[in-house]
Structure 1
Amino acid sequence: MLVDVEKGVRLCLSETLLNLIWAPITDIKDIKMSGNWMWAAKCEGEGARLVSAVDSLCDALRDVGCAIDGGKDSLSMAVKVNEEVVKAPGTLVLSAYVTCPDITKKVTPNLKTSKNLSDADSVIILINFTDSKSINLGGTAFAQVYRQIGDEIDDVTDFQEFVNRFNKIQKLIENRKILAGHDISDGGMIVGLLEMAFAGNCGISANFEGQQVEELFSEAPAVLIEVEKSDEAEILSIFGKAAKTIGNTHKNFGPDGIIKIALNGELVLQEKLVELREIWEELGDQLGKYQTNELCLEQAKMVRETTKQIGYKCGFDFEYEVDFINDQTYFENAPRIAIIREEGSNGDREMASAFTLAGFQTFDVTMSDLSSGHTLSQYQGVAFVGGFSYADVLGSAKGWAAGIQFNEKIREQFQLFLARENTFSFGVCNGCQLMALLGWIGMESDEVDVFLEENKCERFESSFGPVKISENNKSIMLQNMEHSILGLWSSHGEGRFTYSSPNILRKLEENGQICVRFVDGDGKSAKDYGNNQKHLPYPMNPNGSESDVAAICSQNGRHLAMMPHSDRSFLSWQWPDYPFSNSNSSSNLSPWIKMFRNAYDWCKTH
C-alpha cells in the first residue's frame, strides 16, 4: 500500500479470496466481506489516495461478483509528536465469510505424503493466479528483510480469469483431488513450500526451471497444491500454462527429512528439515519466553527435532448406524442424561451432541435449574461440561464446586444421584476439575485426594496430541478400548493431576483407576521407558501430570473425569489429521464415539 494503493487493494482482495479457497464453498459470488479502512485521510494527499484505493477495490469486486456488506473505518490515523506529524500507512483489512457445505472436504497445508494411496511420492504443483511476466519484490517480506520498500509491486489485472482458476481449484477440492494446499503470501513461494513441509514433517525436493532466484520470493498471487502422482497430468492440463510441477515429497519424516531446492538444475539448498524448521520457529520461541516456562520450551524443541510420525492405533469397531437420530419415538425410551453447566461453561453443545449420537436423550440442565427444584432423580447419567465456570477467578471449578457443597438442596441432589447403583457420570476439563473437588474420583475417602493444579508450562495450553487408553482400567465408558492410541484436544490452564499424598497415585494405578495417559508418537508414556522420568516432555504431556495421567475414574468405574476433550474429538473432521478410514460410513464418527456408546450400552443393562 506504501508503493501503489490501487494495486495494493487488488492484492488484498486476491489474498482474501485465496485464504477461503481451501474449503468447498457454495459459490464465489456468495462471499461477503467486512471492509475496514485505516487511513490518515485528513493529511495532505491522503484523501485522494483513499479515493483511488476505494475505486480500485469497487472495480475488482464487481469483476469477482462478491460484495462488502459492512465494516468500521478509522480515518484519523495520524498524530502530532513534537511538531512532527506521524501517520500510519494506509491500510485495508478485509474479513470474508461464506457458507461451506461439507467441512470434511477441507484442505490443510500440511503435506500428506504418508497418506498417499500409491507407493509413488506425491507431487507439488504451482498454480499462478496472475499472468504477469515481471518479477516485482516491492512491498514483500524479502524487501523488508533488506530494509527496503521497493518501487514496483505485483498486480492482478484480470479478476475474471482469477475467478475461473478459483473455481477450478474448488472443483478439485470437491472431487478430493488435492491432498494439501497453501496460498503464496508473506515470504513468497519458497516460504510457502517450506511451511507445507514443516507442517507435514516430511522431506521434499523442488527444482525451479527457467526461473531467477527472485521468483522464489515473489508474493504474486498463486497457490501450491500437493496431488497424487497419478493425477498430475490431468491437473496440469486443466490449468495449462498457469500451472507447473515444481517438486515432490519424500517418505522420510522428522529428523530423517531432507529439504532439497534446485534452481535450473543447480542445487542451491540441501538441509535437514528439522534444522530449517527451528529457524522458522525461532521468533515464536523468543516470544514464548514471555509466557511459557523455559524448560518446557526446550522440551518442545526436542520434541520437534525428534518426532517422526504419530502411531495412532484403534483396536475396536466403532462404526454404527445413526438413523435413529430423527426418530422421536426412539428417544422417548432412550436413557436420559443431564448435560450440566454453570455460568461460564462453554462445552455443553458438543457434549450433548456426542451423547445424542450415542443414543441418549440429552437435557440441558443449569445449576439454577437445580436450585429451583429440578431434580436429578429422572436421569441415569450426568455430564459436567468444559469451560471456565465463574471465569476461574476463584481457581478452576472452585466456584462451581462451592455452589454444590454449600447449597444443602443441591448437595443432597448430587449425593442421592451418587448413591444410586444405576447411575454414571462424566466430566471433561472444567467438569473434570469439578469432579476432583467433589471427591467423585480418587480413593473415595472422607477427604479429597485428587487435585488439578496449574500446568507446568505456566500457561493455558491448547493442543492436539496422542493418548493411550490404559490396560485393565475400570471405567465403564472405556471398556474394550484398551491399548488404543487416539488423538485428543487439550484445552486448559490447570490440568496437572496432583494428589494429597505420594501413595495415592500408586493406589489409583493398582486399582485400575488411571484410565488414559498422554503418550508420545511411539505410543509410550514415561512409565514405558522405565528411566525414572516422571512424565513425558512438553507438549506431549501438555500439563506435566506425573505418570502422564489424563483421566481417572472412581473405584466402581461409573464416574470418569478426563482433562482432554473426547467431546471435541468424536467426529473425524474434528481431528487435525484423521488417520482412520470412514469409507464405509457417512456418519463421520471417530473412535471416541465408542466411549459414549459404551455408556449407552451400560445404561440399557442397568
Structure 2
Amino acid sequence: FAPVTDARKSLTPCLRTDVGATDLVLIDLGRGQNRLGGSCLAQVHGVLGTRPPDLDDPALLKGLFGAIQELNHTGMLLAYHDRSDGGLLVTLCEMAFAGRCGVDITLASAPMDDPLAALFAEELGAVVQVRRTHLAAALALLTEQGLGDCCRPIGTPNPADRISIRNADCLLFDANRADLQRLWSETSWQMQRLRDNPDCADQEYARIDADDPGLYAALSFDPDQNPAAPMMNTGARPRLAVLREQGVNGQVEMAAAFERAGFECVDLHMSDILASRIELTGFKGLAACGGFSYGDVLGAGEGWAKTILFNARARAQFQAFFERDDSFALGVCNGCQMLANLRELIPGSEHWPHFGRNRSEQFEARFVMVEVLPSASILLQGMSGSKMPIVVAHGEGRAEFRDADHLVSAQPLVALRFVETAERTDHLGAEDYPANPNGSPLGITGVSSADGRVTIMMPHPERVFRSVQCSWHPQHWGEDSPWLRLFRNARVWVN
C-alpha cells in the first residue's frame, strides 16, 4: 500500500484523443525477452510453456514506480495501463476500449523474429500515453531512472476506431475496435445472462458499438457562478438536519455538500427524534441520506418510514415540518425510498411512486447520465435542460406506479430522469439497461412535491459535488462539479 496525497492525480487506461498529437510508450521490464511460459497464449494452445516472465532486476521495478510518480507529478502522463494478462496486445486493446478509439502500433522499426511473443508475453511493464511535445522529456526521465533500454515509442491513437499492429512495414493485424470489444466482453456477457436478468445483459452487450459517445456533460448554467455567494457572505448559516437511521452510510458526504453551500449541518439520528432529544422545529432543511436502513429487510426505506409513521411523537414532528412553508427536504437513495413511503405526511406528494427491486435483479453501482427536467423543485432551479453524469448505488430504485393513470399524474412532478449517452430521436428518457440501471418507466429517477419544497431522487448528488469525486469528468471542470448548484440553490431559497 502507498499513500495517495492527491486523488486528482489518478491515472486510468482511457486514451485521450482531444489533446493533439500523442505517443504511446512501452516500458518493458523484461528487456525484450518476451517469455511465454504460463501465458494466456500458451493456455489457449494447450501448453504450459517453458520460461515464465520474471523480475530479473528488482531495481527496474523501483525505477518504474519512481518514473511513473515523477511523470504523473509533472503532468506528462495522459493514460497508463500495466502489461499483465494477455500481454501487450490486450493492454493496448483495453486502452482503446476505454478511450473509444483505435491505435496504430509498430512493434519495431526492424522486423522482429517473433512478433507473437512480443504481443502476448506477460512480462512486467506498462504502456503510457504522453503528448508528442513531452515525448523527449518523458524518455529522458525514464532514462534517469535506469529504464533507458526498457522503453520505446510504439504507436499512436487513431480516430479510425481500428486496432492496427505492424512488424516494421508488415501489417500483422487490423480489426475494428468495437468488434474486438465485443469479443473481449463475451464471457462476461454470458455469465451475466445466467446471474442477472438476461434481457438486461443483452441490452448492455448490444451497446458495444462505434456510435456510443460515452459520458458527457451539456449544461444549461455556468457551474462557476455561485448564486448563494451573497447569502454566504452574510455569515448566516441556516441549520440543516442530516437525518440517518441504523444502516445509513451517506451522512458524511451529505453534510460536506450542504456545509460547502453555507449551511450549519447537524447529525440527526432517528433515535434523537424518538427520544425527544432534538426536535425538527429548529431546522430549515432536512436531508435524508442514503444507505441500507435495517438492511432493507423490510423493503428499501420501508422500516425507516414505519418508525416514523407508527410513532405518534415522530409522526407529528415530521408532519409539522413538511407542512411549514419555510422548510425544505431532500431524500437521496434510501432517504428517497423512505420519504416516498411518507407520502401521507408530505403535501403535494400523493402522485409519487413507490420504489421497488431493480429490473436487473442486482445492486447497481454506476456512473450514469441524467437530465434535469423543468419542475417546481427548489433544489434544481436554473438547471433544467442540463445533462450530466451522476452516481447511482441501489438495489431497489425502480419507480413503480399503480397504473398508467398514476404514471401520467406524476409527470408534472418528475424532476430528474435517466438519459442515453446518445440522444434519442424521440427525446424521451432512457428505457434500456444500463443507461436506465433500475428499469424505471420513462427513466424517472427523481420527483418533487407540487410546491417544490421536497425533492427525492435515487442518484447521489452528494457523492459528486466535487469534481474529484467523479470517476470521469470534462477536463475543464474546476474544483466544484455542477452538482454543487443543487445545494447552493437550497441556500438561495432559504434566504
Q: TM-score range by the shorter chain?
A: over 0.9
Please state how far the C-alpha of 1:222 moved relative to its aligned partner.
Answer: 0.6
The one of 242, 248, 264 aligned to 1:339: 242
The corresponding residue for 1:313 is 218
The corresponding residue for 2:56 is 157
User: After superposition, what is the alpha-carbon deviation per residue over 1:387-413, rounded to whole angstroms, capped at 9, x for unaligned?
Assistant: 111011111111111111001111111
The one of 478, 481, 495 aligned to 1:590: 481
Please state how far the C-alpha of 1:236 moved relative to its aligned partner.
Answer: 2.3
CA distance in 2, matches of 1:359, 1:580: 27
CA contact (8 A) 1:343 1:390 kept: yes
The one of 105, 118, 122 aligned to 1:219: 122
CA contact (8 A) 1:441 1:559 kept: no
Please state how far the C-alpha of 1:448 moved relative to its aligned partner.
Answer: 6.8
Tell me: CA distance 1:317–1:265, structure 2 relative to 1, closer, same or farther (3 Å): same
1:458 aligns with 2:353: no
Structure 1 segment 360-399 matched on structure 2, within 5 A: 360-373=263-276, 374-399=278-303
1:504 aligns with 2:399: no
1:405 aligns with 2:300: no
1:559 aligns with 2:454: yes
The one of 240, 243, 251 aligned to 2:159: 251
CA distance in 2, matches of 1:413, 1:432: 19
User: After superposition, what is the alpha-carbon deviation per residue over 1:499-545, rounded to whole angstroms, capped at 9, x for unaligned?
Assistant: 13322322332x3x211111111344x8516xxxx852110111111
CA contact (8 A) 2:352 2:447 kept: no
CA distance in 2, matches of 1:312, 1:320: 17
CA contact (8 A) 1:518 1:541 kept: yes
Tell me: CA distance 1:226–1:580, structure 2 relative to 1, closer, same or farther (3 Å): closer
- Over 4 Å off, 4+ runs: 440-443
1:495 aligns with 2:400: no
Tell me: CA distance 1:547–1:292, structure 2 relative to 1, closer, same or farther (3 Å): same
User: After superposition, what is the alpha-carbon deviation per residue over 1:75-107, rounded to whole angstroms, capped at 9, x for unaligned?
Assistant: xxxxxxxxxxxxxxxxxxxxxx22111100111
Work out the percentage of aligned pairs sharing the same amino acid: 34
Structure 1 segment 438-587 matched on structure 2, within 5 A: 438-439=342-343, 444=348, 449-470=352-373, 472-509=374-411, 511=412, 513-524=413-424, 528=427, 535-582=430-477
The corresponding residue for 1:36 is none
CA distance in 2, matches of 1:189, 1:338: 53
The one of 90, 100, 125 aligned to 1:201: 100
Please state how far the C-alpha of 1:339 moved relative to its aligned partner.
Answer: 0.7
Matched to 2:157, the amino acid is: T
Please state how far the C-alpha of 1:577 moved relative to its aligned partner.
Answer: 1.7
User: After superposition, what is the alpha-carbon deviation per residue over 1:303-349, rounded to whole angstroms, capped at 9, x for unaligned?
Assistant: 22241343421221223689x9xx9x987x30111111111111111
The corresponding residue for 1:141 is 40
Tell me: CA distance 1:440–1:548, structure 2 relative to 1, closer, same or farther (3 Å): farther
The one of 422, 427, 434 aligned to 2:326: 422
Please state how far the C-alpha of 1:139 moved relative to its aligned partner.
Answer: 2.1
CA distance in 2, matches of 1:320, 1:359: 15
Structure 1 segment 55-94 matched on structure 2, within 5 A: none
Matched to 1:315, the amino acid is: S
> Which one has a bigger Cα radius of gyration?
1
Please state how far the C-alpha of 1:553 moved relative to its aligned partner.
Answer: 0.4
CA contact (8 A) 1:478 1:598 kept: yes
CA distance in 2, matches of 1:443, 1:602: 18
Count of residues in Structure 1 that have an aligned counterpart in Structure 2: 481
Please state how far the C-alpha of 1:265 moved relative to its aligned partner.
Answer: 2.1
CA contact (8 A) 1:469 1:516 kept: yes
Please state how far the C-alpha of 1:443 moved relative to its aligned partner.
Answer: 8.0
The corresponding residue for 2:206 is 302
Q: TM-score under structure 1 normalisation?
A: 0.76
In the alignment, structure 2 segments of 5+ residues that lack a partner are 143-147
The one of 115, 122, 128 aligned to 2:28: 128
1:174 aligns with 2:73: yes
Give the RMSD, CA atoms, in angstroms.
Answer: 2.3
User: After superposition, what is the alpha-carbon deviation per residue over 1:245-286, rounded to whole angstroms, capped at 9, x for unaligned?
Assistant: 11111235xxxx221112232212211111100111011111
Matched to 2:465, the amino acid is: F
CA distance in 2, matches of 1:225, 1:463: 26
CA distance in 2, matches of 1:293, 1:139: 35
